[in-house]
Amino acid sequence: MWGSPHEPRRVVQLLWAGIWLFYLGFPVVATLNGHNSQTEIAVRMAGLGAFLVVYLGFWGYGFKRSADLWPVLAAVALLLAIAVPMTLTDVRADEGWAQLYIYVAVVAGSGFRWPRTVLAVGAVAALAVATTLLTAGLTWYVGLIGFEVMTIGLAMAGMTGIIRMNRQLREAREEIGRLAVTEERLRFARDLHDLLGHSLSVIVLKAELASKMASRAPERTEAEVRDIERVARDALREVREAVAGYRQPSLSQELTNARTTLEAAGIEVRVDVAAGALPATVDTTLAWAVREAATNVIRHSRARHVAFDLARDDGEVRLDVTDDGPGGAEPPGAGTGLRGLGERVDAQGGALEFGPPADGGFRVAVHLPLRHERREETASA
């Protein structure tokens, strides 16, 4: 439609359809300069008008539905129903009315798909040659009309194929754009869950502690309220940074936060880090893993002891977070965060494992490759 995103394509199609209209001058001249009565002239002009209506009607309606076969078949059949008798009854027996086969080839070449379009255009060219032989005999014009019909029909087939491929490429780009937007939304939802899930769990925990100690230890209550304010402000800052695209959590900071939060909840924490400096992407992924594991302990585990073990070995780094809670296949309600963590780990080519170990409790293990180390070793070798 005019004014739509497809307007340039439609203009190109209509221009290609219209440039062949000058061939209609040949049958008009043949009719007016021949030995035709007024009645014959009127009949032939009416037939030519009907032919033109079918041809233009295909471009106005049928071509838009060219994915369906029947509009193309109907247009070709109607055009041939006019072109064949007009050619066979041409009293001058010259090239005039045979030019109508060009329009049939244009429709066949534009409407059918490869390789069907080659067969259709070839059949129209053969029919043009056959009917011209019957009326004009074996002349140079027989070869010319066959060449014209075949060449123009295949040219239209090629042009239409290019238009269709461009449309498919545009649709593919639009689909890629939609998928990219969806992926970005999922990523942001995952980040927001990881950010706020941990902070809100800490706020709830400290609010419960403040409520319990309000009458017994006012000074401790005041400290917990200040901590609640600090955590809330940190969460607000992290959300703002996430929206701006600047947030990169630090492994060391997350380990410190996890220790502080868990110890405030009365959980004994052991941290054993023997990994040294890590690549930024690995450090960030492990930071998210520490945050998610600590959040699950606070929310679900009812553990008394938690251990964070980080080690580097044989081109990879391993993080193990274990607790002595009741255990289970997966902490209730932890699926969203662990799935999000799994996506982050997969993106780094690593592996995520979680579940109850043999001696009880719950374990979250992250294995990440250190690709940069492998590249350096290869280069030095």
Residue by residue, DSSP assigns 239-259 as HHHHHHT-----HHHHHHHHH
How far the first Cα of the chain sits from its last, in Å, is 64
Structural domains in the chain plus CATH codes = 7-176 (no CATH), 249-381 (3.30.565.10)
Within 13 Å of residue 215, how many CA atoms lie on the same side as its CB? 1
List, in sequence order, every beta strand (DSSP E) within the chain. Answer: 268-274, 305-313, 316-323, 351-355, 362-369
Determine the pLDDT at residue 124.
Answer: 85
Indicate the length of the chain as a whole number: 381
Buried b (16+ CB within 10 A) or exposed e, 204-230: ebbeebbeebeeeeeeebeebeebbee
- Average pLDDT per run of 10 along the chain, which is 381 residues long? 47 68 73 72 82 79 60 84 82 68 84 79 85 75 82 83 79 71 71 73 78 74 79 77 65 87 83 84 90 82 87 88 73 63 87 87 90 44 41
Determine the pLDDT at residue 307.
Answer: 93
Would you state the structure tokens that stand for residue 96, as one six-digit string?
């005039």
Would you state the structure tokens that stand for residue 20, as one six-digit string?
């062949």
Determine the pLDDT at residue 375.
Answer: 41
Would you state the structure tokens that stand for residue 8, as one six-digit string?
């340039």
What's the CA gap between 165 and 161, in Å, rounded? Answer: 6
> To the nearest 10°, the Cα dihedral for 209, 214, 218, 222?
50
What's the CA gap between 106 and 363, in Å, rounded? Answer: 70
Determine the pLDDT at residue 318.
Answer: 92
* 167 contacts: CB under 8 Å, gap ≥ 6: 6, 9
- Provide the whole-model pTM: 0.46
**Three-class SS string for 124-136?**
HHHHHHHHHHHHH
Of 343, 240, 261, nearest to 306 (Cα)?
Answer: 261
Determine the pLDDT at residue 364.
Answer: 92
